[in-house]
Amino acid sequence: MNTVHKISSETLDISTIHDIVFQQKNIELSSETIQKISKCRAYLDAKMDQHEDPIYGINTGFGSLCNVKISKDKLTQLQENLVMSHACGVGDLVSKEVVKLMLFLKIQSLSYGHSGVQLETVERLIYFYNNDILPIVYTQGSLGASGDLAPLAHLALPLIGKGEVYYKDEICNTESVLKELKLNPIKLQSKEGLALLNGTQFMSAYGIHLLLKSYKLSYMADLISSISLDAFDGRIEPFNELVHLVRPHNGQLKTAERIREFLDGSELISQEKTEVQDPYSFRCIPQVHGATKDTLTFVKKTFLTEINSVTDNPNVFVDEDKIISGGNFHGQPLALALDYLKIAIAELGNISERRIYQLISGLRGLPAFLVDNPGLNSGFMIPQYTAASIVSANKQLATPASIDSIVSSNGQEDHVSMGANAATQAYTLIYNVERVLAIELFNASQAIHFRAPKQSSSLINSFVNSYRETVPFIKEDEIFNEKIKTSIHFIEDFSIEKELLFD
């Protein structure tokens, strides 16, 4: 197994990112990338020596101060002042997984040779990445338009020996960490602070992290709903391929195919049925789960385009001899994609909660609340309350953030995407859905016990038996909190081949 990923101009795809993240690969620059970074920096240095004209962000102030020219002897101070003054993040700490992706994606964006950074700066970011020296970044502070300014300022502070980092799993002062490692702070050159702060790597890192998690939850939703369907004594006919070929949405076709595969060989699904139809939460699994899959396809396309792009400003075009101030840092494409992702994944939770409700309702021969002696035992009554509470919270989180905007920088930045808010909302929402699916698994594994001696498919039996090793059958009331948490951990730890996730 190759344990190193080379940063290059080769297009990053979802499979490659999956391997980098889950195989915990180190990264290094390719020779082609080193040449691009060095060539761009040399061009910018030459341009600064030859011209006195103001060039935005290189020898001027920032934002609404863009017309204030800065003298050459103040350019390093200008860039360091920019990083320090923009480190205004507040709120919760961004998870280590997301911060590490931010580092990776910032390195990738700077590697294309249109940002004018020093090679030394990029190599220090790589050193941080490979050695798990992860900057402390906060969830609040970005408007998602001039790049993710505040979060990326916190990401950049350790380069100049300031701020805090995770080091050896502890939060440490950066200055002391650099001294221990015998590293000097980077002396930022013209434009470098702006190149580090402009960009969409906060939104993008959240998006990639959540995309990988969403693909897994999509698969788990199909698998868990198959257990629920069998436990509810549901019908297989709605999953017949003929039904879906006459309405051939890709996600719908894929979901129906998966459910058929999961239930292949089940005694329960093939037994004679007394009910003519199932409720929508069972019968329409392909249509609902499938629509989410189609949304994931759109979101994946958006984020893969973004992370294979240059998103700082201004952009340096060496061969064309141009430095152009544009707006590639604006997060509108990501804000819309994140809002769409929120809505789509929330629906996996909504329909899951309805299946939970059906399973505890005392229907189709199942005991009320899935426990013997209901009345004396409340059984699985309250886990459904918990799921209902979560899906209602998700309805609030799923309200689009991208429809909002607010004026900043004295009117210079007069439309913003709010994509960073969409990102943090999506994070909470998607982890919420994982909890709802864990509760459905808790209920479905309990319900299917009451169908013995008839059995489900060998695949589902194997999965449920594995689950039973950590969450046993519930005979009478006990504290369910720990069972639900264990169920969540079971889903988190469950390994799925990437070929099954992204096919």
Positions annotated as catalytic residues are: 56
**Contact by Cβ (8 Å): 135, 152:** no
Tokens standing for residue 366: 């199942």
Rounded Cα distance between 68 and 83, Å, is 18
What is d(CA 449, CA 371) in angstroms, rounded to the nearest whole number?
A: 11
Q: How far is CA 130 from CA 2, 187, 396, in A?
A: 15, 21, 38
* Cβ contacts of 478 within 8 Å, gap of 6 or more: none
Identify the residue whose tokens are 């006195």. 52
3-class secondary structure, 408: strand
Radius of gyration from C-alpha coordinates of the chain: 26
Write out the two tokens for 382: 């309250």
Helix-strand-coil split of the chain, %, nearest 5: 60, 10, 35
Is the separation of the CB atoms in 104 and 148 below 8 Å? Answer: no
Q: How many helices (H) and strands (E) does the chain have?
A: 20, 9
Retrieve residue 130's tokens.
Answer: 């490979």
Instruction: With H, G, I as helix, E, B as strand and everything else as coil, classify residue 92.
Output: strand
Q: Are 214 and 169 in contact (CB under 8 A)?
A: no
| Residue 316 backbone phi and psi in degrees, to 5 | -105, 125
Tokens standing for residue 239: 């999953």
Backbone φ and ψ of 70, nearest 5°: -115, 135
How many angstroms separate the CA atoms of 214 and 199, rounded? Answer: 24
Preceding peptide of 314 cis, ω within 30° = yes
* Closest of 157, 92, 149, 87 to residue 128, by C-alpha: 157
Buried-exposed string 374-391: b where 16+ CB fall within 10 A, e elsewhere:
beebebbbebbebbbebb
E-assigned strand segments in 71-120: 90-93
Half-sphere exposure of 46 (CA within 13 A, CB side): 11
Dihedral pair phi/psi, residue 118, rounded to 5°: -75, 150
Helix (H) or strand (E) holding 156: helix 149-156
In 3-state terms, what secondary structure has residue 4?
strand
